[in-house]
Structure 1
Amino acid sequence: MAERATPPPRSRPPRPSTRRPPPPPKRKLTGGKVFVTMLSVLVLVATGYYSNLADSFTDGLSTADVISGSGEKPADGAVDILMVGMDSRTDAQGNPLSKEQLAMLNAGKADGEINTDTLIMIRIPNDGGKAVGISLPRDSYVDIPNHGKHKINSAYGRAKLEARAKLQKQGVQGRDLDVKSNLDGAKSLIATVEKLTGAKIDHYAEVNLLGFYDITNAIGGIDVCLNKAVKDSFSGANFPAGRQNLQGTAALAFVRQRHGLPNGDIDRIARQQVFMSGMAKKILSKDLLVPGSETLGKLQDAIKKSVVLDPGWDIMRFAQQMMGFTGGNVSFQTIPIVTIDLSTPNDGSAVGVDPVAVRKFVQGVITPGGPPSTGATSPGTSTTDGTSAPKPTVNVLNGSGRDGLAGDVSDVLAGQGFKPGTTGNAAARQKTVVRHAKGDKAAGEAVAQALEGEFAVEEDANLTKGKVTVILGKDYQQSGERLAADPLLTLNGLAQEPQPACIN
């Protein structure tokens, strides 16, 4: 496998942004690139599955040895993968993109910054359960080990440039200088994500700018639907309202746009999740991936130009796990957000997040039924002497009209220590309600607090003490969805409706 190099950036710390700056023409917005990573992994899986070419296919892929063997491993053998969209003007082998390619991609001019503009953590369970993708907004204001608090998308660049300066003093130069400093950048990013989420990253996948363009062209685009027409000169997005098929430059513009959207980067994340879901569905189609076909060949070429993986990744084992998710067991969520307009000392306007709430959320999502993560607290009931009472069993009924929501909420509550009860559907309703047995109001209030919403808590004569029923209404928003586009989306990976839901 080939090692990776990138053209030398200017040796200066990443430039802090100013508060709500007017972006220059052709401002680079690269959020959609991480889809190529996820899609490329799926292609690797499908290639190995259909044509048994895994060895020859992985020959030529670029690698980065950035995964530490230390840290606690999930008891269930699950795998946590960090998917990264890099703000890079090279292919995976370090070859600079041509002026013609950059113009085609509406990439504009490089400004010396090295940012990871899209971050998605994927947990692949080992027991056939649901795979979960968790989006981390690129402007999240977090603690970067050894660098203090900054936007998470600068973690890679800060560490890379610091390492580059040290290596230059040691006489390291040329390709070796970039390869070694790139490793420091990726390691810093992984450490930052692990600190924020409480998860242990097992594998790392990084993608460059060009691959997304090539892959969407190769598969014939993805169908999307917009609530309203949009026109944005910064990303190049210019689309009518309604359903449409997007590929190449248009697909890039769709997943890049954040200016002119009601919730900025949060709406962009919703677009990314919808587009990723559609790409995953299409790329695993047996009709599309015919062994020896021109389409499969184009996909393989695009992946080799666009993807960097850690060398310890057993692609064939991963293939066996992933092929079980084609029935719809993939969902996408976003970490809880405090504000989308946090004023910072040096980094301009950022996305505010609460690390304790993020770890609690991630623990509940990726380890249903497990204990809350270290440092996180979850609400509970108390006895008259002040000691903690056992948490109740919680039944969850879905009256929201969103498929799969009862199971998702039950998993999150189980992750906070509540005992999972039954799940099912209820008559459609507008408001979410939490019901408890007579004399057991504290149990109902504990569940309502865990759901992090202003929900009614009512007595139900049909319930016995220690049992609570949650009936979800259309008003219910999962943690991490609260600032998402309206209408809110519950994404279920490959189990999509034939026509995609409309979004902002």
Structure 2
Amino acid sequence: MTDEVADASMEHYAGRPSSHYGSRRAHARRPKKRRRVVRAVLGLVAAVLAGAVGTYGWADTKLNRDVDLDSYGDRPPRGKGTNYLIVGSDSRDGLSQGDIKDLHAGGGGGRRTDSMIVLHTGAHGTSMVSLPRDSWVTVPGHTNPATGKTSGPTGNKLNAAFSYGGPRLLTRTIEYNTGLRIDHYAEIGFAGFVNIVDAVGGVRMCLERGIKDKKSGADLKKGCQTLNGKQALAFVRQRHQEAEGDLGRTKNQQRFLSSLAHQAAAPGTVFDPSEIYPTVNAGLDTLIVDKDTSLRDLTTLFRAVQSVSGGKGKQINVPVSGIGIPTSKGSVIKWDEKQSRRLFDELRHDRPVTMPRERPRK
């Protein structure tokens, strides 16, 4: 640059205030700053998604897919919609002797069912149908895996099917007595149940009366409160303080499951990997599913339960005609033949369920 040009250039800018130069520099910096912010945000989103996907993939590989629902023949034809069988068992896997004593879980061997719910999703929403474990049903012919002894069809409590033949015989018995085809099976034991409740920070329940039960360990006050894992397990297991016994317990179980789904889906837990990991991991150790169930299926199940808790579905107990009926197998619950057949027909054909909704208790 010549001296004349330089002087002219200086003269051109000499009359402008110094702030003008700062403004030019600020405008130059702003696009760079915006780009840095955008990159940071995109990086954060990518990290969250990568963490969520990674957690999802890890959890899917950890699922215990021990149950083969197609390993026996003579199953009902596929109906419309999807049927999930949700089972809470008294499996003590994952519990120490101290845990068993603390949770009043007993010391018996094997595992039995504490709750059984058929969840149906379809064109008309979601229906959760509780099947009391003392239901009087026909257990199909089977071979006892423990003894190798073969038995023909016989009347017994629904819980006995699980004791004799595990998930396979339980599913087969439910299909035989309802005509529904079970598409997916999900079972969780004591340890997984307690861990999941604790992982979500407890579950808020409102009780109409205080509950004190030595067998389950329940010691709960009347009113609204947040139950931790130990308290929640005692609540869903106790039945001796219920006027309807096992039937009353199934209603409590439905209420609790809906509240748990609502609590677990609270904002802030869905997209944060640090929250997803402990919640998912908490239940995997004692979660048993069928060989065709993926984590995506479990997510669908969870969302369906959540929709019921939000009032977009029905919570139903199978219609009964008698409670405490004496039999050679002890006191049982008998289903109302006409009404239960109508209910299961509606579910099988995915028609609107005409059974009245269970009124939730505050």
Per the normalisation by structure 1, the TM-score is 0.55
Partner residue in 2 for 1:490: 359
1:140 to 132, 135, 155: 135
Partner residue in 2 for 1:59: 61
Partner residue in 1 for 2:326: 343
The SS at the match of 1:52 is: helix
The alignment status of 1:86 with 2:68, answered yes or no, reads no
1:360 to 308, 333, 342: 342
Aligned residues: 297
Classify 1:317/1:262 alpha carbon distance in 2 versus 1 (closer, same or farther; 3 Å): closer
Higher relative contact order (CA 8 A, sep 6+): 2
- Kindly indicate whether the alpha-carbon contact (under 8 Å) linking 1:232 and 1:238 is maintained by their aligned counterparts in 2: yes
Classify 1:317/1:207 alpha carbon distance in 2 versus 1 (closer, same or farther; 3 Å): closer
Partner residue in 2 for 1:252: 233
The alignment status of 1:309 with 2:289, answered yes or no, reads yes
**Structure 2: runs of 5+ lacking an equivalent:** 1-47, 142-152
After superposition, what is the alpha-carbon deviation per residue over 1:154-181, rounded to whole angstroms, capped at 9, x for unaligned? 102223xxxxxxxxxxxxxxxxxxxxxx
The SS at the match of 2:314 is: strand
- Kindly indicate whether the alpha-carbon contact (under 8 Å) linking 1:105 and 1:210 is maintained by their aligned counterparts in 2: no
Classify 1:343/1:261 alpha carbon distance in 2 versus 1 (closer, same or farther; 3 Å): same
Classify 1:291/1:312 alpha carbon distance in 2 versus 1 (closer, same or farther; 3 Å): same
User: 1:278-427, aligned counterparts within 5 Å?
Assistant: 278-293=259-274, 295-316=275-296, 319=299, 323=303, 326=307, 328-345=311-328, 347-365=329-347, 367=349, 369=351, 411-413=352-354
Identity of aligned residues (%): 29
Q: Which amino acid aligns with 1:299?
A: T
The SS at the match of 2:62 is: coil
Q: CA deviation at 1:48?
A: 9.7
- Kindly indicate whether the alpha-carbon contact (under 8 Å) linking 2:137 and 2:177 is maintained by their aligned counterparts in 1: yes
Tell me how far apart the structure 1 counterparts of residues 222 and 50 of structure 2 sit (CA, whole Å). Answer: 38
Tell me how far apart the structure 2 counterparts of residues 137 and 243 of structure 1 sit (CA, whole Å). Answer: 26
Partner residue in 2 for 1:121: 118
Tell me how far apart the structure 1 counterparts of residues 229 and 219 of structure 2 sit (CA, whole Å). Answer: 14
Classify 1:337/1:56 alpha carbon distance in 2 versus 1 (closer, same or farther; 3 Å): same
Partner residue in 1 for 2:29: none
- Kindly indicate whether the alpha-carbon contact (under 8 Å) linking 1:143 and 1:149 is maintained by their aligned counterparts in 2: yes
Indicate the larger mover: 140-149 or 65-74: 65-74
2:189 to 198, 208, 217: 208
Q: CA deviation at 1:139?
A: 0.3
Tell me how far apart the structure 1 counterparts of residues 262 and 50 of structure 2 sit (CA, whole Å). Answer: 16
Classify 1:203/1:275 alpha carbon distance in 2 versus 1 (closer, same or farther; 3 Å): same
The SS at the match of 1:192 is: helix
Question: Which 4+ stretches in 1 moved above 3 angstroms?
Answer: 47-50, 317-328, 354-357, 365-369
Tell me how far apart the structure 1 counterparts of residues 290 and 118 of structure 2 sit (CA, whole Å). Answer: 15
User: 1:71-82, aligned counterparts within 5 Å?
Assistant: 71-74=76-79, 76=80, 78-82=81-85
Tell me how far apart the structure 2 counterparts of residues 135 and 101 of structure 1 sit (CA, whole Å). Answer: 28
1:190 to 167, 171, 194: 171
**Structure 1: runs of 5+ lacking an equivalent:** 1-46, 92-96, 160-184, 370-410, 414-450, 452-477, 482-488, 492-500
Partner residue in 1 for 2:205: 224
Tell me how far apart the structure 1 counterparts of residues 312 and 112 of structure 2 sit (CA, whole Å). Answer: 31
- Kindly indicate whether the alpha-carbon contact (under 8 Å) linking 2:128 and 2:316 is maintained by their aligned counterparts in 1: yes
Q: CA deviation at 1:145?
A: 0.2
After superposition, what is the alpha-carbon deviation per residue over 1:265-303, rounded to whole angstroms, capped at 9, x for unaligned? 12211211111111111112232334222x322212212
The SS at the match of 2:241 is: coil
Q: Report which of the two has the higher share of helix.
A: 2
The SS at the match of 1:119 is: strand
User: 1:106-185, aligned counterparts within 5 Å?
Assistant: 106-110=104-108, 112=109, 114-125=111-122, 127=123, 129-146=124-141, 147-159=153-165, 185=166
Classify 1:101/1:71 alpha carbon distance in 2 versus 1 (closer, same or farther; 3 Å): same
Tell me how far apart the structure 2 counterparts of residues 158 and 268 of structure 1 sit (CA, whole Å). Answer: 23
- Kindly indicate whether the alpha-carbon contact (under 8 Å) linking 1:84 and 1:207 is maintained by their aligned counterparts in 2: yes
Q: CA deviation at 1:247?
A: 1.1
Per the normalisation by structure 2, the TM-score is 0.74
Tell me how far apart the structure 2 counterparts of residues 139 and 48 of structure 1 sit (CA, whole Å). Answer: 45
The SS at the match of 1:89 is: coil
Q: Which has the larger radius of gyration?
A: 2
Classify 1:48/1:82 alpha carbon distance in 2 versus 1 (closer, same or farther; 3 Å): farther
Partner residue in 2 for 1:105: 103
Tell me how far apart the structure 2 counterparts of residues 87 and 317 of structure 1 sit (CA, whole Å). Answer: 24
Classify 1:71/1:231 alpha carbon distance in 2 versus 1 (closer, same or farther; 3 Å): closer
The SS at the match of 1:338 is: strand
- Kindly indicate whether the alpha-carbon contact (under 8 Å) linking 2:90 and 2:105 is maintained by their aligned counterparts in 1: no
Classify 1:323/1:82 alpha carbon distance in 2 versus 1 (closer, same or farther; 3 Å): closer
- Kindly indicate whether the alpha-carbon contact (under 8 Å) linking 1:133 and 1:331 is maintained by their aligned counterparts in 2: yes
Tell me how far apart the structure 1 counterparts of residues 343 and 120 of structure 2 sit (CA, whole Å). Answer: 14
- Kindly indicate whether the alpha-carbon contact (under 8 Å) linking 1:237 and 1:257 is maintained by their aligned counterparts in 2: yes
Tell me how far apart the structure 2 counterparts of residues 317 and 238 of structure 1 sit (CA, whole Å). Answer: 35
Tell me how far apart the structure 2 counterparts of residues 321 and 119 of structure 1 sit (CA, whole Å). Answer: 15
Alignment RMSD (CA, Å): 2.6
